[in-house]
Structure 1
Amino acid sequence: MKLCITGGGTGGHLMIAQALVEAAVKEGHEAIFIGSISGQDRKYFEDRSSFSHVYFLETTGVVNQKRFGKLKALWRVFRAFLKSREILKKHKIQATYSVGGFSAAPASFASLSKRIPLFIHEQNAVTGRLNSILKPYAKRFICAYDKNSYIKGYPVKEVFYKNARIRESIKTLIFLGGSHGAKAINDLALSVAGKLKERDIKIVHQAGESDYERVKQEYEVLGVEVELYGFTKDLESLIQRADLAVSRSGASTLWEATSNALPAFYIPYPHAAGDHQYHNARFIVENELGWCERESEDLRSKLLHILDESIIEKSKKLMEYSNSDVAQKMIKDVQESIK
């Protein structure tokens, strides 16, 4: 089977693309990637990873643009749509999997225009604008938060569930603000650093490249030893080593932690489209798998309270809730659907 995987813009979408291409190649299929020169698509896949070919087209988001900016963005999408049609024809693509994000628009519409079956994965509890438009025309629409979804669970890289373990106590705490960092999480980490040192809890912290120097200096002033990163691609090993996470609730990070049985305290990004990060985290809380608070709440008190709780039951529930072969099921579904 020859598959096109498209979408991106942010790490969350791209991690799904990575999980899908790994599963596709493992099953003996060929996959190409169509993304954008904007966002993080190049950062993830410029070296191709497991893709046979990668393409980065000139597109930007449309929804957040104003007036002429919106028209300009739509024109770029249209040109990328025409280019995507050429790419799909060149590689004799049999199916396209959209992982969402503005990068997915050209190849998704190009696939529909060429009658190539379109499969969609929605990563968030609140369906994105593009996916809402494409959903009626898709062969399949997969979402971990939808009880009626044909495939349950969320596709993550194999390493997360392969190295899953039950956490019995908190020896290492990881702070994750996403690829760009999060000042609220960085400030929370600094506010509890002294307490964590007293409890002999090791700190691992991804602060984001823009806030890295400030955070580094603050830790030095506090005299607290920390394993600090601006950005790292080695997130899987950091998550595996941690016993508790404090994190934004972007879907990929949330499900990677879930698959690894890592309990987490989620602090949703308040300006996420449709408040989707809050709804992602509420899903975890409602299933008694973790904790969630808004930025406006007393985060320090909540975190210190969590440190006094037993995490073993949460970790056990996460282990039971985790689905190990979601990406593989998604690829097999495509193969069977296009026969």
Structure 2
Amino acid sequence: MKLLVVSSPTGGHFYPAIEVCRKLLDFCEQIIFVIQKNNKFLPIIKQETKDLQKIYIEFVTAVKFPRKNLLLFPKFIFLFIFSLIETFIILLKHKPKLIFSTGGYTSVPVILTSKILFPFIPIVIHEQNCVLSLTTKFLSIFATKVCTGFDIKKSKKYTYTGNPIKEKFLSKVEKDDVATQLGFDKHKLTLLVFGGSQGAQSINSAIVNFLKENKNLDIQIIHITGQLDFNNVKTNYQTINVKSLVLPYTNKMHEFYTIADLVISRAGAMTITELIYFNKPAILIPLPTAAELHQNYNAEFLKKYNCVKVVYQRGDWYTNFCKILLNLISNPQEINVMQKNYNLIKQPSVSIDTLIKNIYNKKYAKRYKYNNL
């Protein structure tokens, strides 16, 4: 199969796309990976795909719809038409047999053009969040199937597949080994703090201030700051009497999840998926500017199972955050209860890669009969 995968330039979109590509390598003749031009995550994408020999990267000039500034609409129209032409050339060049999209605005010109050029090839869309984005709602009109990261019941077109976990996360890591490697005490409460793929200055500041105001806590911390705020946070930790590991970025998140007792983070779809996979209690601080407030919905999904506490960044949110964090540190038995509640969450019955194989075989090979796609 020649597969075309299109992803928008954020970690929440391209990481799931890459993991699906990994699982489909043996099934595919070639994978065309379409991404936005001039995006800052391109080095990470190239690093993650460098060993995947069948992947060929193509670029399109994708732009967001200017919802808040209609003066930019003429520029948007011009660039959108240009992206349609680029996509037209890519599709004619590669002639894919199936298109898989992880959503976002980069997917719009690709899917629209594909329906004009190849109206009968299957299109599979993946929505990572607990609420459908406007883009997903629009593109679902053209989709053969919509895979959902969480159990969203819409229609027969929607299938709960979950979000793909990074391959390295599947390797079993022992907590004792990680503690020894880091020089941490395996019996001491360990916090893991991060703000998503780009970091979060507000979370960084909240943690630093909390530690300065609450001295002599019997805890240890792994803090992933993001590149922009690293030097500032690192300097602050030098004045705080707590065992810590402060990094701007890491490719060892699976190890840090393993040793962590409590996570403090944003509420992106992949973070929620990783928390479920590792059964980690958390304090979630949803990004207030996230599109369609999707992080709020993601956080509330885990909150309804009492797996997490949620703090919204409005009003005196810092005081509320400190109260919740201090209470959990003082009551580790509550953290244990939160962890056990993950067993209540329903697991998906089919993976994205399996569903794509089934759709392809039904469309082209016709070797099997599938009743529950």
TM-score, reference length from structure 2: 0.81
Which shows bigger deviation, 125-134 or 323-332? 323-332
CA contact (8 A) 1:111 1:118 kept: no
Task: Identify if the C-alpha distance between structure 1 residues 236 and 85 changes in structure 2 by more than 3 Å, giving closer, same or farther.
Answer: farther
Q: Identity of counterpart residues, as a percentage?
A: 26
1:104 counterpart (102, 107, 119): 107
Question: Residue 146 of structure 1 corresponds to which residue in structure 2?
Answer: 152
Which shows bigger deviation, 227-236 or 322-331? 322-331
Task: Identify if the C-alpha distance between structure 1 residues 100 and 164 changes in structure 2 by more than 3 Å, giving closer, same or farther.
Answer: farther
Q: What is the Cα deviation at residue 95 of structure 1?
A: 0.9
Question: Residue 181 of structure 2 corresponds to which residue in structure 1?
Answer: none
CA RMSD of aligned residues (A): 2.8
Larger radius of gyration: 2
Q: Write the letter of the residue equivalent to 2:266.
A: R
Question: Residue 305 of structure 1 corresponds to which residue in structure 2?
Answer: 327
Structure 2 Cα separation of the partners of residues 323 and 252 of structure 1 = 15
Question: Residue 357 of structure 2 corresponds to which residue in structure 1?
Answer: 332
Which shows bigger deviation, 288-297 or 36-45? 36-45
Question: Residue 122 of structure 2 corresponds to which residue in structure 1?
Answer: 117
Where do 1:165-176 residues align within 5 Å? 171-176=189-194
| Matching of residue 259 in structure 1 with residue 277 in structure 2 | yes
CA contact (8 A) 1:289 1:318 kept: yes
Question: Residue 157 of structure 1 corresponds to which residue in structure 2?
Answer: 166
Task: Identify if the C-alpha distance between structure 1 residues 62 and 233 changes in structure 2 by more than 3 Å, giving closer, same or farther.
Answer: farther
Q: Matched residue of 1:291: which SS?
A: strand
2:342 counterpart (309, 315, 318): 318
Q: What is the Cα deviation at residue 110 of structure 1?
A: 2.0
Q: Matched residue of 1:178: which SS?
A: coil
Question: Residue 67 of structure 1 corresponds to which residue in structure 2?
Answer: 70
CA contact (8 A) 1:289 1:314 kept: yes
CA contact (8 A) 1:20 1:331 kept: no
Task: Identify if the C-alpha distance between structure 1 residues 44 and 327 changes in structure 2 by more than 3 Å, giving closer, same or farther.
Answer: farther
Structure 2 Cα separation of the partners of residues 153 and 135 of structure 1 = 17
Question: Residue 81 of structure 1 corresponds to which residue in structure 2?
Answer: 84
Q: Write the letter of the residue equivalent to 2:327.
A: H
Which shows bigger deviation, 68-77 or 1-10? 68-77
Q: Write the letter of the residue equivalent to 2:113.
A: A
Deviations 1:59-79 (A, max 9, x none): 232245623423323322322
Q: Matched residue of 1:12: which SS?
A: helix
Where do 1:1-339 residues align within 5 Å? 1-28=1-28, 30-47=30-47, 48-49=49-50, 50=52, 52-64=55-67, 66-114=69-117, 115=119, 116-143=121-148, 144-148=150-154, 149-163=158-172, 171-193=189-211, 198-296=216-314, 297=317, 298-307=320-329, 308-310=331-333, 311-318=335-342, 321=345, 326-339=351-364
Structure 2 Cα separation of the partners of residues 325 and 309 of structure 1 = 35
CA contact (8 A) 2:13 2:103 kept: yes
Which shows bigger deviation, 317-326 or 72-81? 317-326
Task: Identify if the C-alpha distance between structure 1 residues 119 and 301 changes in structure 2 by more than 3 Å, giving closer, same or farther.
Answer: same
Task: Identify if the C-alpha distance between structure 1 residues 46 and 71 changes in structure 2 by more than 3 Å, giving closer, same or farther.
Answer: farther
CA contact (8 A) 2:220 2:242 kept: no
Q: What is the Cα deviation at residue 325 of structure 1?
A: 6.7
Question: Residue 182 of structure 2 corresponds to which residue in structure 1?
Answer: none
Residues paired across the two proteins, number: 339
Which protein, 1 or 2, shows the higher relative CO under an 8 Å CA cutoff with sep ≥ 6?
1
Q: Matched residue of 1:136: which SS?
A: coil
Structure 1 Cα separation of the partners of residues 77 and 7 of structure 2 = 16
Q: Write the letter of the residue equivalent to 2:163.
A: Y
Task: Identify if the C-alpha distance between structure 1 residues 41 and 62 changes in structure 2 by more than 3 Å, giving closer, same or farther.
Answer: farther
Structure 2 Cα separation of the partners of residues 234 and 6 of structure 1 = 26
Q: Matched residue of 1:222: which SS?
A: coil
Structure 2 Cα separation of the partners of residues 205 and 29 of structure 1 = 41
Unmatched 5+ stretches in structure 1 = none
Structure 1 Cα separation of the partners of residues 266 and 328 of structure 2 = 17
Structure 2 Cα separation of the partners of residues 157 and 192 of structure 1 = 32
CA contact (8 A) 2:219 2:243 kept: no
Q: Matched residue of 2:165: which SS?
A: coil
Deviations 1:285-307 (A, max 9, x none): 11233221212331011112222
Unmatched 5+ stretches in structure 2 = 177-185, 365-373
Q: What is the Cα deviation at residue 119 of structure 1?
A: 1.0
Task: Identify if the C-alpha distance between structure 1 residues 242 and 338 changes in structure 2 by more than 3 Å, giving closer, same or farther.
Answer: farther
CA contact (8 A) 1:81 1:106 kept: yes
Which shows bigger deviation, 55-64 or 90-99? 55-64
